[in-house]
Amino acid sequence: MSVTDVTPEPTAPPEPGTRRTRRERGRLRRSFDRHWYAWAMVLPTVAVLGLLVLFPLVQGVYQSFTNLNESNQRSEICTKVLGGAETCTPNPHAAKFVGLDNYIDVLSGHRGQFWLQFSNTLVWTVSCVVLHFAIGLGLAVMLNRNMRGRAFYRVALIVPWAVPAFVAAFAWRFLFDQQFGLINAVLPHLGLDPVEWYANRWTSLFTAITTNVWLGVPFMMVALLGGLQAIPGELYEAAEIDGATPWQRFVNITLPGLRPVSSTVILLGTIWTFNMFPIIYFVTRGQPAGQTEILVTGAFRAAFEGVRNYSLAATYGVLILSMLTLYAGIYRRVLAKQGEVF
């Protein structure tokens, strides 16, 4: 019985082919009929992504228009007496819709330090990505040449990548410690004064950038090394025969040849660094006095410190998302103009 039930099923796919000649149908419908198995395959993913990504996203955007926080999320507050009764009283401050108030408060600087954090984020992202790329490229070019112990250097240089970010953060914070750190212990021997690293916004930011550069260079190096190895050796040979200097070969062969890889890793690196939470949080802890806080750590403090301000954190989240979306859009467009497609 079951055999006869099953057999008609596989014959179903040819059906649309015959029907199509009879009357026009929507392209989507035809595509669905032909690729129904593909749709079925992606359905779980779509459902899970919808549940895990889309739903919280919409909820977060919505919350940014309310004044929701931990103390006003309940319409009633109930108090239980140990071993008995319970009394509930209406919460006089229950959360409500407040329109654009959060955005106005945040962007006007009335609450928090949005613009300070924004400028920190820019400085932090640009300097980290530039240094990542420059140092990563330099190391990749060196490692791409034949030399003794190349395998050892490759492994050694990849090690920082294997260290969890927070472990590296603690180690570097200790190195930069003002009273007991190794760096301030060494500086006097070089004829320099010890630096109060965390007492000043820029030196404090410097410690975090140093940590993140140390952590992020290996990824850039490996990615670019892969890109370098994809550049055909004949190009270099031909250029050499034409009498090109090493610098000319680097500018005219290596850099253009790397562009597909580098454009991707720079975009990724920017987004990752922009949202890089643990380094700032563990190395500078926003010191001095919150002056090295970046947008993501600011959002975290709103969401998880004190009475948790969900609406304020959601506002931060929406602003961060908008900025990154805008950045990615512009970046793609610029690349498209240069003839890159991705």
Partner 1 sequence: MRRTLPALAGTAALALVLAACGGNSSDEKSSANQPAASSTDPASLKADLTWWDTSDPSTEGPVYDELIKKFNEQYPNVKIDHQMVPFGEAQNKFKTAAQSGSGAPDILRSEVAWTSEFASLGYLYSLDGTPLLEGNDYLSAPLSSNVYGGKTYGVPQVTDTLGLMYNKKLLDEAGVDVPTTWDELKQEAPIIKKKTGATAIALGSGGYYLLPFIYGEGGDLVDTDAKKIVVNSDANVKGMQTAQDLVQSGASVKPVANDADATLQTLFQDGKVAMMINGPWTVSAVESAKGFGGLDNLGVAPVPAGSAGAGAPVGGHNYVIYSGMDENKAQAAIAFVKFMTSADSEAFTADQLGTLPTVESAYAKVTNEKVSMWQDAMKVAHPRPWIPEGGLFFAPLDVMGTKVMVQGVDPKKALDEAAASFKSDVVPDYSVQ
Residue pair 311/63 in contact (Cβ under 8 Å)? The answer is yes
* Shortest reach from residue 295's CB to partner 1, in Å: 17
- The reply on whether position 193 binds partner 1 by CB under 8 A is no
CB-CB contact of 218 with 157 (8 Å): yes
Residue carrying structure tokens 């009764």: 85
Residues numbered 39-78 forming contacts with partner 1, rule: CB under 8 A: 66, 68, 70-71, 73-78
Site for partner 1 in 253-312 (CB under 8 A): 284-285, 287-290, 301, 304-309
Q: Least distance from C-beta 96 to partner 1, angstroms? A: 4
Within 200-239, the residues that bind partner 1 by CB under 8 A are 200, 204
Provide the token pair at 47.
């459902």
Q: How far apart are CA 95 and CA 147, in angstroms?
A: 66
Q: Rounded to an integer, what distance in angstroms lies between the CA atom of residue 133 and that of residue 135?
A: 6
Residue 80 touches partner 1, criterion: CB under 8 A: yes
Query: Of 13-21, 138-146, 174-182, 186-194, which segment contacts partner 1 by CB under 8 A?
Result: 174-182
What values do phi and psi take at 97, rounded to 5?
Answer: -75, 130
- CB atoms near residue 120 (< 10 Å): 26
Helix axes 310-337, 55-63, angle to 10 degrees: 120
Stretch that binds partner 1, among 43-51, 104-112, 130-138, 216-224 (CB under 8 A): 104-112
Cα 316 from Cα 323, distance rounded (Å): 11
Which listed residue (32, 34, 103, 105) binds partner 1 by CB under 8 A? 105
Among 177, 187, 236, 323, binds partner 1 (CB under 8 A): 177
- Footprint on this chain of partner 1 (rule: CB under 8 A): 66, 68, 70-71, 73-86, 88, 94-97, 105, 110-112, 173, 177-180, 196-200, 204, 284-285, 287-290, 301, 304-309
